Structure 1
Amino acid sequence: MSLDRRNPAELSPPAGFSHAVVATGSRVVFLAGQTALDGHGAVVGDTLPEQFETALSNLLTALAAAGGAPRDLARVTVYATDVADYRAHTPELGRIWRRLAGRDYPAMAVLGVVRLWDDRALVELDGFAVLP
């Protein structure tokens, strides 16, 4: 399996994402949306960074259960109930990402949504990975 991250010079420099990821491999893992739910199904954390860390940890736990690692992520979509809050916390969210997932960034998008399934959830992440 290989993921070839492409960031053309003609586009603005990416920060915390890759513009394109070319994936070659034999297995694709589709990862369901993960929020800041704990093992009992309760949302934990009151701030976006706290919830982001738990949601990302949950996504990576699901990926590991499928035999993958953070470097295998080809695409991640972030759904935020308050994009301005997300933007305000971008440096902290970047540090959380690098600590948990490293610097091999997938193609990413952040979408503003009215609400998520659980009223207390501030952020949700889903994605897919390509494994050998």
Structure 2
Amino acid sequence: MPLELINPEGLPTPESYTQVVAASGSRMVFVAGQVADDAQGNLVAPGDLSGQAHQAFANLGRCLAAAGAAPEQVARITIYVVSHKPEYLPLISKARIAVFGDHKPADTIVGVQTLAESGYLVEVEAIAVV
């Protein structure tokens, strides 16, 4: 198994991610930040964080598959959220679980003022070890 998920003693065991992921494998896959675009480059779910999160995570899953990687091989994700608030976490978690299921890679959620283009509310990037 290329990933060892570790929650060290003395730290809380998070519900939706793992504190430490130790990776071994011969190939690393780096997925650029994915936003809520459809195949034609149109923004999906304008103004709707939940809808955009589902699309961004689905796009991340498509990128992984195209590189021959599976969601359970992802060691780390970074999630950027415009004007992040703690109450957004359940919406983001639901979209994340739709792609990752029970797999909990290490992650960081970063609140940002804006993303690359107007209208985007969430962006997700990943590192997988195959």
TM-score range with shorter-chain normalisation?
Answer: over 0.9
Letter matched to residue 11 of structure 1: L
Q: List gaps (5 residues or longer) in structure 1.
A: none
- Please, which moves more after superposition, 98-107 or 48-57? 98-107
Secondary structure in 2 matching 1:90:
helix
- Per-residue CA deviations over 1:79-111 (Å, capped at 9, x if unaligned) read 011211xx2132233233222211111110001
Equivalent position of 1:28 in the other structure: 28
Query: What is the TM-score with the length of structure 1 in the denominator?
Result: 0.92
Task: State the alpha-carbon separation in 1 of the partners of residues 33 and 111 from structure 2.
Answer: 15
Task: State the alpha-carbon separation in 1 of the partners of residues 98 and 33 from structure 2.
Answer: 21
Task: State the alpha-carbon separation in 1 of the partners of residues 43 and 65 from structure 2.
Answer: 21
| Matched ranges for 1:56-75 at <5 A | 56-75=57-76
- Please, which moves more after superposition, 116-125 or 94-103? 94-103
Q: Is the 8 A contact 2:49 2:91 kept in 1?
A: no
Task: State the alpha-carbon separation in 2 of the partners of residues 115 and 36 from structure 1.
Answer: 14
- List, as ranges, runs of 4+ consecutive aligned residues in structure 1 with deviation greater than 6 Å: none
Q: 1:93 to 1:112 in 2, by over 3 A?
A: closer
Letter matched to residue 71 of structure 2: P
Task: State the alpha-carbon separation in 2 of the partners of residues 74 and 25 from structure 1.
Answer: 11
- Per-residue CA deviations over 1:38-62 (Å, capped at 9, x if unaligned) read 1111111131111000000101100
Task: State the alpha-carbon separation in 2 of the partners of residues 96 and 33 from structure 1.
Answer: 15
Equivalent position of 1:102 in the other structure: 101
Letter matched to residue 20 of structure 2: A
* Equivalent residues, number: 129
Query: What is the TM-score with the length of structure 2 in the denominator?
Result: 0.93
Q: List gaps (5 residues or longer) in structure 2.
A: none
Equivalent position of 2:37 in the other structure: 37
Is structure 2 residue 110 aligned with structure 1 residue 122? no
Equivalent position of 2:81 in the other structure: 80
Task: State the alpha-carbon separation in 1 of the partners of residues 18 and 103 from structure 2.
Answer: 8
Secondary structure in 2 matching 1:124:
strand
Letter matched to residue 124 of structure 1: E
